[in-house]
Amino acid sequence: MPGSRAKLPELRRWWRFALVAPLLLFLLASFVAPVLMMLSRAVIDRDLERVWPDSAVALRQWDGEGLPPEALARTVAREIRTARQEGTLNQVANRLNYDMVGSRSLLYATADRLHAGAPANGIADLARIDPRWERPEIWAAMRHADGPLTSHYLLAALDRRLDADDRIVNVPAEQAVFTNIYLRTFKISAIVALLCIALGYPVAYLLASLPERKANPLLILILLPFWTSALVRTAAWAVFLQTNGVVNNALQAVGLIDAPLQLIYNRLGVYIAMTHVLLPFFILPLYGVMKGIPPTAMRAASSLGAPPVRAFLSVYLPQTLPGVAAGAIIVFTLALGYYVTPALVGGGADQMISASIAFYTNQSLNWGMAAALSLLLLLPLLLMIFAGRTMVRTVPA
Amino acid sequence: MSACRSRSERAGRAALIGFSVLVFAFLVLPILAVIPLSLNPTTFLVFPEGEFSLRWYRTLAESPQWTHAFGNSLKIAVATTLIATPLGTLAAIGLAYMRSRAKTVIVALITAPLVVPVVVVAIAFYFLFAPLGLVNGSLGLIIAHSALAVPFVVIVVHAALRGLDTELLRAAASLGAPPLTILTRVLVPLIAPGVAAGAVFAFMTSFDETTVALFIAGPEQRTLPIQMFEGVREQISPAIAAAATLLIVASTLLLGAAELLRRRGEGRGGSATPDIGA
């Protein structure tokens, strides 16, 4: 838009910023700050420190070799008792349980015994309450949680953990779920993007080759789904794809199938509904790019004797690739974060990473985990968008 | 691509048209076919045979849950529009004056809510509002929806500014009007169609928004999309088709009008109508 600035009436410089400032302040407060604060929970770890301030200090001073000094064990025992009285023990218990399963019951049982007057003058006393106090795992779990920063959530989001010797190891196979869910999320998004390319490219090509008088009414057929919310369109598919829904009834009526097909609550339903929801996001930008391609190059190619297919492949197609890349990246990145559509038309094995984020936010209340999963969703996405921007810069205006 | 010369070229063209017709059908039929389903008098999700009925619309109108949800959505969407439209319009005017470097950074910031996955935005608001007690209240949802809606206002108004007839501004300046007067008395009325289009986009962004609402709205703030989401999840009935039909009609009318306003404001065709993923 060169020149657009010169056309407007002169305005003092600070006025220009004064016009933008309210929105910037609003977005900083209502969007940027909340997102950054949320993401910081992926690495910030103050649950133990908040409840056991003295133990946290002592844990940070300990070298972490084998069993801790007796003084540290006494501090922990004292703070277990205080936390039980103040009703804050569950915060530490939950945090330690992420690192070592069984920590919660160990802490509660120990707290009860200490409350009942059991001596707590060192590791030996604690071990009489529960022999696990003589093993390094629980102490390592405490050391991993001593704050203020932790790698626990990010490692867990990659199906890894720190063992008692601070080595990064794989979590047990039955707990290793996230790698699979991330791969599934990427796979579904990539397939939806490919489906959009396959369905959308010919349509955009046809629209761009028509005179505007004919193309504009057809464009409405793309804008209509674009304007209808993703939820409504997903709901429509949920209605149609039912076992006794319209699609199955129609297929049975024309005799193509004998028994109803399972079209919903599986991967097929997710692909159908997500492609439908995202296809306009691919067609519209590609159509814009194709409209900007002068027809003269194709005409020159064919007047020089290139057969139509050859002219298309070597002259037209390369000019549209930036548009294809832009549209595909838009579709892929939007698909990565989809929540509503897979939740409604997918089965349990078709849920994407956003469903896990929702689970840790609402049900398991493990916010550190939700933040780490979000961070690992956001990073590849920002990379894709950055790559997309670079590519789109080459699009003809 | 005007003259089709050879037979193979004509066949290719026919295949292209045939394929495109199928894709258009895939895009539009599911939306249009919801309408007859909603007019079906039975409790099954089938096309009505001979007899049409408004039974399921009556069910919606008489259900306190649906009417309450509609009222909530309306209230939250109006409040969002009232916040997002002035903020976005002012910013778009300011941006039109800016040079590339500052502008790039600011545009990236303003459009960030469109790029970040909605679920990430949703939990960010949840974590923020839960300790403040704003979860289960309308205010949190209104703030969140305003952040999501404001990029659309900026994009649409900014486009309207580019299509401005600057002769009028110059005329006002040559008649001695100070810059601020030109802005408020000449510029703003000229871009009014664009601002109105932006306001409609803001309204629809909030009215259709599902994910953030699912996270931070309590039972009292149940919006129409939440009601619909749970309806689809728990028990699909033709009432869902009726609600979907109403939402399709509303968004088509409103966004169609906004698109016309936008084109008038820009003085040319174009296709970049914003929408938001789910």
The residue segments making up the domain with residue A266 are 178-394
Residue B137 confidence (pLDDT) above 50: yes
Instruction: Identify the pLDDT of residue B185.
Output: 86
**Position A166, amino acid:** D
Structural domain ending residue among the three candidates A96, A122, A145: A145
**Helices marked H in A116-229 — which ranges?**
123-129, 136-144, 152-157, 178-209, 212-227
Q: Clarify whether residues A182 and A141 are in a common domain.
A: no
Q: Clarify whether residues A304 and A241 are in a common domain.
A: yes
CA distance B76 to B92: 24
The answer to whether the CB of A344 falls within 8 A of the CB of B226 is no
B101 contacts chain A (CB < 8 A): no
**Position A48, amino acid:** L
Q: Clarify whether residues A237 and A369 are in a common domain.
A: yes
Q: Clarify whether residues A249 and A371 are in a common domain.
A: yes
The neighbour count for residue A335, using CB atoms within 10 Å, is 28
ipTM for the assembly: 0.87
Number of domains chain A is built from: 2
CA distance A120 to chain B (A): 36
Is A168 inside any structural domain?
no
Contact B233 A343 (CB under 8 A): yes
CA distance B203 to B76: 9
Residue A169 main-chain phi, psi, to 5 deg: -125, 160
Task: Give the residue from B104, B274, B270 showing the smallest Cα distance to A393.
Answer: B104
Cα A231 versus chain centre, distance:
19
- Which residues in chain B have Cβ-Cβ distances shorter than 8 Å to A32? 109, 112
A-contacting residues in B 65-84 (Cβ below 8 Å): 83
The answer to whether the CB of A347 falls within 8 A of the CB of A266 is yes
CA distance A294 to A303: 15
Contact B241 A239 (CB under 8 A): yes
Residue B225 main-chain phi, psi, to 5 deg: -60, -35
Q: Clarify whether residues A72 and A193 are in a common domain.
A: no
CA distance B62 to B239: 12
Is A25 inside any structural domain?
no
Contact B208 A205 (CB under 8 A): no
Quick one: what percent of chain A has pLDDT higher than 90?
Answer: 69
CA distance B169 to B183: 9
DSSP state string for B200-226: HHHHHHHHH--HHHHHH--GGG--HHH
Residue of A nearest to B232 (CA): A235
B105 contacts chain A (CB < 8 A): no
Instruction: Identify the pLDDT of residue A3.
Output: 40
Contact A308 B106 (CB under 8 A): no
Residue B4 confidence (pLDDT) above 80: no
B7 contacts chain A (CB < 8 A): no
Q: Clarify whether residues A71 and A217 are in a common domain.
A: no
Q: Clarify whether residues A78 and A189 are in a common domain.
A: no
CA distance A280 to chain B (A): 9
Nearest to A233 among B31, B113, B236 (CB): B31
3-state class (DSSP) for residue A88: coil
Average pLDDT over chain A, rounded to an integer: 90
Q: Which of B27, B42, B237 to mutate against chain A (most A CBs within 10 Å)?
A: B27
Residue B29 confidence (pLDDT) above 50: yes
pLDDT digits (tens, 9 = 90+) for A163-181: 888 899 999 888 899 999 9
Is A322 inside any structural domain?
yes
- Residue range B2-16: mean pLDDT, rounded: 76
- Which residues in chain B have Cβ-Cβ distances shorter than 8 Å to A35? 116, 120-121, 124
10 Å CB burial of residue A309 (0-12, 13-18, 19+) is exposed
Phi-psi bin for A57: left (phi > 0), alpha (psi -120 to 50), beta?
Answer: alpha
Is A136 inside any structural domain?
yes
Q: Clarify whether residues A126 and A182 are in a common domain.
A: no
Instruction: Identify the pLDDT of residue B183.
Output: 80
Task: Give the residue from A100, A90, A96 showing the smallest Cα distance to A45.
Answer: A96
Q: Clarify whether residues A224 and A347 are in a common domain.
A: yes
The residue assigned the tokens 């935005």 is B121
Residue of A nearest to B116 (CA): A378
Nearest to A41 among B99, B127, B276 (CB): B127
Contact B23 A1 (CB under 8 A): no
**CATH number of domain containing A371:** 1.10.3720.10
Is A134 inside any structural domain?
yes
Is A39 inside any structural domain?
no
Contact A232 B236 (CB under 8 A): no
Nearest to B147 among A30, A337, A362 (CB): A30
CA-based torsion, A187, A191, A192, A197: positive or negative: positive
Structural domain ending residue among the three candidates A122, A145, A168: A145
CA distance B178 to A151: 59
Q: Clarify whether residues A137 and A238 are in a common domain.
A: no
Structural domain ending residue among the three candidates A145, A161, A196: A145
10 Å CB burial of residue A366 (0-12, 13-18, 19+) is buried
Contact A246 B37 (CB under 8 A): yes
Quick one: what percent of chain B has pLDDT higher than 90?
Answer: 49
The two structure tokens encoding residue A73: 């064990």
Length of chain A: 397
3-state class (DSSP) for residue A161: strand
CA distance A91 to A49: 10
Q: Which of B232, B255, B263 to mutate against chain A (most A CBs within 10 Å)?
A: B232
Mean pLDDT per 10-residue section of chain A, whose length is 397 residues: 48 80 94 94 93 94 89 93 93 92 93 91 92 92 92 94 90 90 96 98 95 91 92 92 87 88 93 97 94 86 84 90 91 93 93 95 91 95 80 49
- Which residues in chain A have Cβ-Cβ distances shorter than 8 Å to B229? 231, 340, 343-344
Residue A168 main-chain phi, psi, to 5 deg: -80, 120
CA distance A257 to A260: 7
pTM score of the predicted model: 0.89
The answer to whether the CB of B233 falls within 8 A of the CB of A183 is no
Q: Clarify whether residues A209 and A261 are in a common domain.
A: yes
Q: Clarify whether residues A69 and A213 are in a common domain.
A: no
pLDDT digits (tens, 9 = 90+) for B153-184: 999 999 888 878 778 888 888 888 887 788 88
Question: What 8-state DSSP symbol labels residue B100?
Answer: H
Angle between helices B238-266 and B192-208 (to 10 degrees): 160
CA distance A104 to A356: 23
CA distance A261 to A245: 10
3-state SS, one letter per residue, for B165-207: CHHHHHHHHHCCCCHHHHHHHHHHHHCHHHHHHHHHHHHHHHH
CA distance B241 to B33: 9
- Residue range B130-142: mean pLDDT, rounded: 81
